[in-house]
Structure 1
Amino acid sequence: MHNTLEWADIVIVGNGIAGLTTAVEARRFAPDTRIAIITEQCHPTINTPALKQFAIGRLTQEHLLAYPAGTERTQRIRMVNARVEEINAQDKFLGLRGGYTFGYGSLIIATGSRPNGLPAHLPGREFDGVLTLHRLQDYLDLLRRLDGVESAVVIGGGAHAIETVMSLLHHGVEVSWLIRGKSFLSHMLDHTASEMILENTRNAGAKIALKTELSGIVGRVGSVVGVITNHDKMIPCQLVLVCTGTSPVTTLAEHCTSPMMHGSGIYVDDQFRTSVRDIYAVGDVAARKDPQTGVYETRAQWYSAVLQGRSAAAVVTGHHELATQSMGVPWHATHVADLYMLTVGNPLRMLEGATIVTDHSKNKYCRMTVIGDRLVGYLSIGTAQPDSLAIKSIIDEGLSIRRIKKALLKGEFDARKYFSQRRSQAALDMVTSGKIPVVKPISYPMAPVRSFPVVAHHPSHAPIIAAQYGPAVHSSTTSVSTVSAIANMKTLHAETFDTSLVVLSSLADQPTMHDLERDTRPSTGNIAVPSRKDIESMLLPLPSRTVTRSLWSYSDKTPAVKARKSSFPPPEQRQSEKTNFLL
């Protein structure tokens, strides 16, 4: 027996943007439901993409709030400051540090990610002045130190690293940037694109060293005075800033009494369900299947985390028709000095039947991966900012680019005109034919990927190991009999719903601090003005127009949602249902 301290219908672990968005949306869908967030974080949810603006003094701490102050209180969301150490999936309660427990009806894991940091064996990694930038406290520490810093070393080869470099240059700090690989963002950019970005950064004043790693950090009386590289070169500095990427926090999957499938993230299906019934995962920790490759990947992006939180809230409260069924391909946009960089999908990934088309001029480079007349990958670097969501929509929907291929390549694509023409053509086709057009998303050539097995959580069952993942899927124990028994199991939850009711959601043009993700840039003065309005969701269909799969939907007002009486079935009904899982 256990003594449950408290209980809630919906319990969310983690108060990052994915966790809080899930809670706020769940409250809107289910006004009378008990909702709780359990977190170790000591401050409200902040807009993490805006930290780069905060670092250069263009935003205050108050501007970092992702939602208006007091949102949790006004939405009647119970906040519990505690550390969750384990999940008892059979009896549906969480084990908290200190011996306390917390019961749940549905559990959402939104534990986010942790910074990779420096290797544990690296000499000098504990010296004062070595900072790993990841959370608000790290940036507060950085700002307190900048006045006495003349030179700094930045470690890392990704977007976070280059944004940190540009922030330091803004403060007049001399920067040495060490990149382990032979190029910048080697998994996203080809050699030409990488060289454009690096040359632009050099022109801004940074010293860049490729194929360079740290061998050690030199200190004096406990403080950093320099670093030693693998080329035996000493670089004097007073700060070492580590931006070496992140890894999802899958600790709860490892400490669950029922086997929860995970590897580089917790594996979820299109409704963010894990392999354990009534447990979901969203945000940086959730790994979903890439629509182009079938590989399960996490997306450590603000935009994606918000959409995942909204969809999970719709599913967990029984509003399946309002859940976004596909996040589509990943995308990333940033601003480096006077250049805009955009990647949609993976422009470096070669798919069967794909061709590469490029266009390169002095201050502009574009690379497109095309299959037939369908765009599957897009990379753009230049002084003009492309319409990232429009291009993402074209790839996600498998729309033909026959008429706009040149405009996309030259950076002259007019998204508003393109989608307006599509609406007009669709309306004309319906009038002349009397038939509603059907949009078929592109199917990408890929190796077959087996779905996750379904396991009834009987005490005699050992943890599940997906054969196709091998050692990448972790579990405390392994059963050969379980592995051999999964072949004939189904992969669907018992319930079904009408996918024709699915509507797309978007953050664009919403009066919230989410706009900082796309409007604030390290090298411009265009700072998004923080809104003081209440946050409204866009997951509802618009009553004034037909919702189509080719356009994002916008609205100033969100109609009220009436709570469903049967959002949470009684315990006896839940226990009788079979445990099934789809991926």
Structure 2
Amino acid sequence: MVDADQTFVIVGGGLAGAKAAEALRAEGFTGRVILICDERDHPYERPPLSKGFLLGKAERDSVFVHEPAWYARNDVELHLGQSVVAIDRAAKAVRFGNDGTLVHYDKLLLATGAEPRRLDIPGTGLAGVHHLRRLAHAERLKGTLAALGRDNGHIVIAGAGWIGLEVAAAAREYGAEVTVVEPEPTPLHGVLGPELGNVFAELHAEHGVRFHFGARLTEITGRDGMVLAARTDDGEEHPAHVVLAAIGAAPRAGLAEAAGLEIADRAHGGGIAVDERLRTSDPDIFAAGDVAAFPHPLFGTRLRVEHWANALNGGPAAARAMLGRDVTYDRVPYFFSDQYDLGMEYSGWAPPGSYDQVVIRGDAGKREFIAFWVKEGRVLAGMNVNVWDVTEPIQRLIRSAAPVDTDALADPHVPLDGLGV
């Protein structure tokens, strides 16, 4: 029974952690809520870091989940700039790294997120080598892109995933020269497959981005501590004043692993293994957001989803589970991106090899279309590009798991709501 004597601790000051704290109070929990953040900034949302904030179109304060006064007003004990270095499951306590303080918990939520993967090549210690994950990274990169634009400078981006492409778009809007190095044959290959990756290759090429596919960075060269060029494994050398490593993110699961919690295998993205209630192998410890690998009944596998909507929805779901509510976390994965004049939303999960055809509704050449990834007539995922207000019917098609007529699916005159029923 939840009561005022209980203490719920949340480790991780991103969107998942902040929304979990909000949900606990909204659900009527009157005990202590302790939110521990290893950054000195209040909890913030990450999408603006590679979109509006990076472009200078959104103010710094707009990224925060709540205004600073919200935490005191809702009696949430916020510890900024504090790291948790250990979980003592027997004592039900977490230990701070700065002074060794132990904090007791009745329930614990791990929302530790992910961290950018590092380039393991010579030259990464040079000034001008960037990652983008935190607000401080975005502030630094924003100033750097503006300077590159003024001086006709060059940025080399390692990786043509979402972060790499969004930064490429921002860099071009500032006026910088951009080269993207990607080992796969198309951008976003692991998410969209070869069929749709070319849409983004053509979009960026039209805006002056140079792609170097089928290659990896092997060295960043410099002089006097500054970047001069980036070399690839096929012998090419690209001039560069700045290099961005955008080669993906790894779950920050070390704290959980050291505490003996079950960790998902790499085939499922790693991360902390949780059940449908977002509960770990310890019944008093939960995990949500980028770090959690949860079983998804629609796709019949364990997923780890590194997107805004998963943090937005997963944090509150974990909070309700901590309170003993009946929770089944089975949200359809969703994310969005904005690049130049292209806006898109993607729902579902369809990695290469999981589908047998891609159905296009609309005009892909004009970049106004919906793409559906289909297996045996069943929609696994859908991406709407510059077509709006269709996320709900797309997600209903995915959730229904019903076979659809692919000719009707491709016909813009057939309402989506009438399919798969």
TM-score range with shorter-chain normalisation? 0.7 to 0.9
What are structure 1's unaligned runs of at least 5 residues?
1-6, 423-441, 443-549, 551-583
Q: Which residue of 1 aligns with 2:303?
A: 297
Alignment of 1:101-500 (within 5 A): 101-119=102-120, 122-149=121-148, 150-256=153-259, 258-263=260-265, 264-320=270-326, 323=327, 325-348=328-351, 357-358=359-360, 362-364=365-367, 367-370=371-374, 374-380=378-384, 382-385=385-388, 387-398=390-401, 401=404, 406=407, 408-411=409-412, 418=417
- Computing the radius of gyration over CA atoms, which structure comes out larger, 1 or 2? 1
Secondary structure, in 3 states, of the residue corresponding to 2:279? coil
Q: Is the 8 A contact 2:337 2:344 kept in 1?
A: yes
Alpha-carbon deviation of 1:387? Answer: 1.7
- 3-state DSSP class of the match of 1:296? strand
Structure 2 residue aligned with 1:28: 26
Change beyond 3 A, Cα 1:383–1:23: closer
2: CA distance between counterparts of 1:124 and 1:261? 33
How far is the alpha carbon of 1:394 from its aligned partner? 2.3
The 1:412/1:174 distance shift into structure 2, 3 A limit, reads: farther
Aligned residues: 404
- Cα displacement (A) at 1:100: 1.7
**Closer, same or farther in 2 for the Cα pair 1:399/1:70, shift >3 Å?**
farther
Q: For 2:374 and 2:236, how far apart are their aligned partners in 1?
A: 44
Measured at CA, do residues 137 and 85 of structure 1 come closer, stay the same or move farther in structure 2, by a change above 3 Å? same
Q: 1:124 corresponds to which letter in structure 2? A: G
**Residues 347 and 368, structure 1, Cα contact 8 Å, conserved in 2:** no
Distance 1:133 1:164 in 2: 9
What corresponds to 1:75 in structure 2? 74
Distance 2:354 2:156 in 1: 38
Which amino acid in 2 is paired with 1:316? M
Describe the SS at the equivalent of 1:57: coil
Question: Identity of aligned pairs, percent?
Answer: 24
C-alpha separation in 2, matches of 1:262 and 1:190: 24
- CA gap of 1:369–1:199, structure 2 versus 1, over 3 A, is closer
The CA deviation at 1:281 is 0.4
Work out the CA distance in 2 between the residues paired with 1:207 and 1:259: 44
2:127 maps to amino acid: D
Secondary structure, counterpart of 1:40 in structure 2: coil
Q: Within 2, Cα distance between the matches of 1:327 and 1:348?
A: 18
- For residues 396 and 33 of structure 1, do their structure 2 counterparts lie closer, same or farther at Cα, with a shift above 3 Å needed? same
- 1:304 touches 1:327 (CA, 8 Å); kept in 2? no
CA deviation after TM superposition for structure 1 residue 389, in Å: 3.4
| Distance verdict in 2 for CA 1:347–1:95, change over 3 Å | closer
What residue is the counterpart of 1:543 in the other structure? Answer: none
Tell me if the contact between 1:114 and 1:247 (Cα under 8 Å) persists in the aligned partners: yes
Q: Which deviations, in whole Å up to 9, do the C-alpha atoms of 1:56-95 show, x marking residues without a partner?
A: 1101101111223322111100112422111111221112
**Cα separation, 2, equivalents of 1:145 and 1:371:** 44
For the pair 1:11 / 2:9, whether they are aligned, the reply is yes
Letter in 2 for 1:54: F
Partner of residue 40, structure 2: 42
| Distance in 1 separating the partners of 2:182 and 2:173 | 20
SS at match of 1:287: strand
1:117 Cα deviation (Å)?
Answer: 2.0
Distance in 1 (alpha carbons) for counterparts of 2:413 and 2:84: 51
The CA deviation string for residues 10-51 of structure 1, in whole angstroms up to 9 with x for no partner, is: 000011110111111111223421111122110111121112
